[in-house]
């Protein structure tokens, strides 16, 4: 007696059947929208290398945040562009800085929207590096920078930030930030640690938007080597030991294996950052008619979720949310 061969296609015949057995869920609730806030008034500038993405002054950002919330996205990650920059990145930890004022305005207008803040100095330093440069040299001073990062995180928490996200890749900064937050009465503020942030070629459009291109050298001395994956797991485990609440892998698509390894090794909540270069490539291909933008974006974001990401930071968040509803 012969038996018919197993036919997996039987459960692929219709949308309903495919939905019943779908293994990976992607919804607006999984997405975080990055946003650029710039000093000044009545400013709304498109970023040329990121079609559809703008830099907003605070009042316009508040309006945009309303649209983000209406799209079903529950969280926004804030990046600041100050009016002036200096060697120490002092605008990052100024209580009246552009991010601090924006957080207060956002929380007043949209109290239910989760406001996450980028904690780094690169947008605020005149040299474009993520920390303070040692006198007469070109190297970032790790320990001095960590002190300023903790000061920045405290200023964001005081302004009302729901979570802080250190993206600098300095050693020991998670422990220092956690200690300072707890000491200053902000023990409920979670830390989203960029544990595996690679020295990637996919950050170019972001650096245009944030005006943070290094004026000398590069960031390979503190960001991770793209060839390494086991190192990312060690970084993630160290950050958890120091008090991180969520781990970040950045970029996303070229590092899906790292997302999976970090998730499996730690079991902790993991976010992945679908970065500016990934966004702009999809936009360019779609503009040339080479791909179906909606299908390609949903496929890309689904792959990030499938790899193990609990949350995805993506410039497509608002658009994708409309497609997924």
- Positions marked active-site: 197, 250
Q: Are 272 and 259 in contact (CB under 8 A)?
A: yes
Q: How far apart are the first and last CA of the chain?
A: 49
Q: Among candidates 79, 159, 171, 61, which has minimal Cα distance to 119?
A: 79
DSSP per-residue string spanning 119-153: E-STTTBTT--SSPBPTTSSSB-HHHHHHHHHHHH
Q: Are 166 and 178 in contact (CB under 8 A)?
A: no
Q: CA 150 to CA 178: how far, in whole Å?
A: 8
Q: CA 43 to CA 45: how far, in whole Å?
A: 6
Helix (H, G, I), strand (E, B) or coil at 38: strand
Half-sphere exposure of 295 (CA within 13 A, CB side): 4
């Amino acid at each position: 007696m012969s038996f018919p061969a197993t036919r997996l296609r039987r459960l692929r015949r219709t949308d309903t059947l495919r939905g019943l057995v779908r293994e990976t869920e992607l919804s607006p609730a999984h997405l975080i929208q990055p946003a650029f806030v710039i000093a000044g008034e009545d400013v709304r500038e498109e970023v040329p290398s990121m079609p559809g993405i703008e830099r907003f002054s605070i009042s316009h950002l508040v309006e945009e945040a309303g649209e983000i919330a209406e799209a079903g996205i529950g969280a926004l990650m804030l990046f600041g562009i100050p009016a002036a920059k200096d060697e120490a990145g002092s605008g990052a930890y100024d209580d009246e800085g552009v991010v601090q004022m924006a957080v207060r305005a956002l929380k007043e207008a949209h109290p239910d929207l989760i406001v996450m803040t980028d904690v780094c100095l690169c947008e605020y330093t005149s040299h474009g590096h993520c920390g303070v440069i040692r006198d007469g040299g070109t190297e970032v001073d790790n320990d001095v920078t960590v002190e300023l990062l903790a000061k920045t995180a405290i200023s964001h928490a005081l302004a009302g930030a729901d979570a802080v996200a250190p993206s600098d890749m300095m050693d020991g900064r998670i422990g220092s930030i956690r200690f300072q937050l707890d000491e200053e009465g902000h023990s409920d503020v979670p830390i989203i640690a960029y544990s595996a942030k690679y020295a990637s070629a996919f950050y170019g459009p972001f650096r245009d938007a944030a005006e943070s291109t290094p004026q000398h050298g590069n960031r390979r001395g503190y960001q991770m080597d793209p060839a390494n994956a086991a190192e990312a797991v060690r970084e993630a485990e160290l950050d958890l030991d120091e008090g991180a609440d969520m781990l970040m892998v950045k970029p996303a698509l070229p590092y899906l294996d790292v997302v999976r390894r970090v998730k499996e090794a730690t079991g902790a909540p993991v976010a992945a950052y679908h970065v500016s270069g990934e966004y702009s490539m999809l936009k360019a291909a779609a503009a040339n008619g080479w791909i179906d933008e909606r299908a390609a974006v949903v496929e890309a974001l689904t792959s990030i979720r499938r790899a193990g990401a609990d949350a995805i930071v993506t410039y497509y968040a608002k658009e994708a949310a409309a497609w997924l509803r």
